[in-house]
Amino acid sequence: MVFERAYGTTRADALARPVVLDTRFDLASITKLFVATLALQAVADGAIALDEPLTRWFPEWADTPHAAITLRMLLAHDAGLNSGADYRQLLGFDVERYAIERDLVDTPGAKVIYSDLGFIALGALIERVRGASLATVFARGLGSPTNGFRPAIADRPNVPATEQDGWRGRVQGFVHDEKAYLMGGVAGHAGLFGAAADVARLTEAYLGPLCGRANATLPLDLVREATREQAYDPVLRRGLGWALKTADANSCGRWFSPRTFGHTGFVGTCVWADPVRDVQGVLLTNTVYFGRNDTRDLRASFYEALIEDIEA
């Protein structure tokens, strides 16, 4: 550990509590990295293959365009599934069923479409492969005292609040993502809460083996596969779960190497790791508290300062 600090408060009103090092943030789409790792562990165990059609697990996909979808495609966001759906269209629906059965918007394997629906389907796939709920599979495989779905009632006041919306009021201790909320707070694309150290621990499961350190989470061949390009996109190339640095305009900024892998979350969470320098940085914030403003400049400034400090 080179630098670890906590700043600010959980809210900007009389209910504010200080943020500390083990404060649990809504991880938003960083959830996808944990769920992708659960899927890769199933591959390592031989329970499923990266390139087998998923109709064995999703019989409802048989004899449809979905039949060509593989686990690799779900993880690389090129399965052809729609990116998402407005929660107002989902009220009264089974969101998981909606994600699995919605018509494709492109041919599987054709191009990257960053898809919450794809990772909702991935969460369902893990449940079917493992024969247990996603929350249970996560708790057994990757969970920690500060990392999991659905914070306990007593813990909610210590979780940084996110957005004020007309539907739920000020969201605190409940997942911000509306689709995950409608799914009871447990989903493949969002729903996990955790501290910065939890994200760093997961990232080390990939960074460490690439830099010669042993890690029992995944075998080295799958670590390498997850952090190399699986699907090209001019804005952000895709590994397996991970995003790969594609340009200096990415939120890791200018100084991280082209081999960098990471991910962002809508509420203001971010992680990037550079195996060339053997360094990673985790930034957890609740930047949607005051509105849905783009925080790319904040993130890039953080990661550029990280490299500048280390190399000074």
pLDDT of residue 149: 98
Q: What is the pLDDT of residues 20-59, one digit of tens each?
A: 999 999 999 999 999 999 999 999 999 999 999 999 999 9
SS3 sequence of 242-287? CEECCCCCCCCCCCCCCCCEEEEECCCEEEEEECCCCEEEEEECCH
pLDDT of residue 9: 97
Which residues in the chain come in under a pLDDT of 70? none
In the chain the domains, ranked by start, together with CATH numbers, are 29-146 (3.40.710.10)
Q: What is the pLDDT of residues 248-265, one digit of tens each?
A: 999 999 999 999 999 999
pLDDT of residue 293: 85
Q: Are 135 and 147 in contact (CB under 8 A)?
A: no
pLDDT of residue 18: 98
pTM of the model: 0.97
pLDDT of residue 308: 97
pLDDT of residue 166: 87
pLDDT of residue 92: 75
259-to-105, 217, 239 alpha-carbon distances in Å: 30, 21, 11
